[in-house]
A and B are shown apart, each in its own frame.
Chain A
Amino acid sequence: QAGLTQPPSVSKGLRQTATLTCTGNSNNVGNQGAAWLQQHQGHPPKLLSYRNNNRPSGISERLSASRSGNTASLTITGLQPEDEADYYCSAWDSSLSAQVFGGGTKLTVL
């Protein structure tokens, strides 16, 4: 099953802003949007944003999600050392009747 496309890595400086992207098609991201997850090494994923771009309770306001057409974005402002992690997007694909994930983006905070 074809997955969503994410850049393998992004590097930004401390207190800078990072924007991560996730590209799909009209059957997945373009249809219902994408959720965003963060995973630190050795830990399970954690939901950062629902597909409707809302943040779960307890997630920092420094994170915001958006969508334009078939591409979803996650913007993290004021980067902190703890933001260094792997970030995944996910969406439901209505043509596959399956969930699809992006390959993940490793965010490095310099």
Chain B
Amino acid sequence: EVQLVESGGGLVQPGRSLRLSCAASGFTFDDYAMHWVRQAPGKGLEWVSGISWNSGSIGYADSVKGRFTISRDNAKNSLYLQMNSLRAEDTALYYCAKSSAYSISAEEDYWGQGTLVTVSS
């Protein structure tokens, strides 16, 4: 059974940093690309970033480019999102999602429960 468990969310002041983690199990982690997708309270889904199976291809939404960094550790079956210079508009539930293929252009087929990030002074 595919399991994705996010952690690292919380309340943070504007301008500060936060690092999210996602622990994956139930599938061969290094065969698949991974994504972060967020959902602001009461709003729709927004793709944040994706990383290919071997970290060779990485993509970001314009809204986070230059501030967020995605990475993965295939030895630890883990995905990360380093978030710097956080803004109020980054407040959202952040989902870790498994891609259906090795490429970041493939759709997400499994999602975690999400970790809540609140940016407020």
Closest 9 CB pairs of A and B: A35-B107, A99-B47, A92-B105, A44-B111, A104-B44, A101-B45, A47-B109, A103-B44, A1-B62
A interface, CB within 8 angstroms of B? 1, 32, 35, 37, 39, 44-47, 50-51, 56, 86, 88, 90, 92, 94, 97-104
Bound-complex Cα distance A99 to B59 (A): 9
Q: Can you spell out 14 A-B residue pairs with CB atoms less than 8 angstroms apart? A: A1-B63, A44-B113, A44-B114, A47-B109, A47-B110, A90-B45, A90-B47, A90-B107, A92-B105, A97-B59, A98-B60, A99-B59, A99-B105, A100-B47
B interface, CB within 8 angstroms of A? 35, 37, 44-47, 50, 59-63, 95, 100, 104-114
Bound-complex Cα distance A46 to B111 (A): 7
CB-CB under 8 A from B50, the residues of chain A are 99
B107 touches A98 (CB 8 A): no
A1 touches B112 (CB 8 A): no
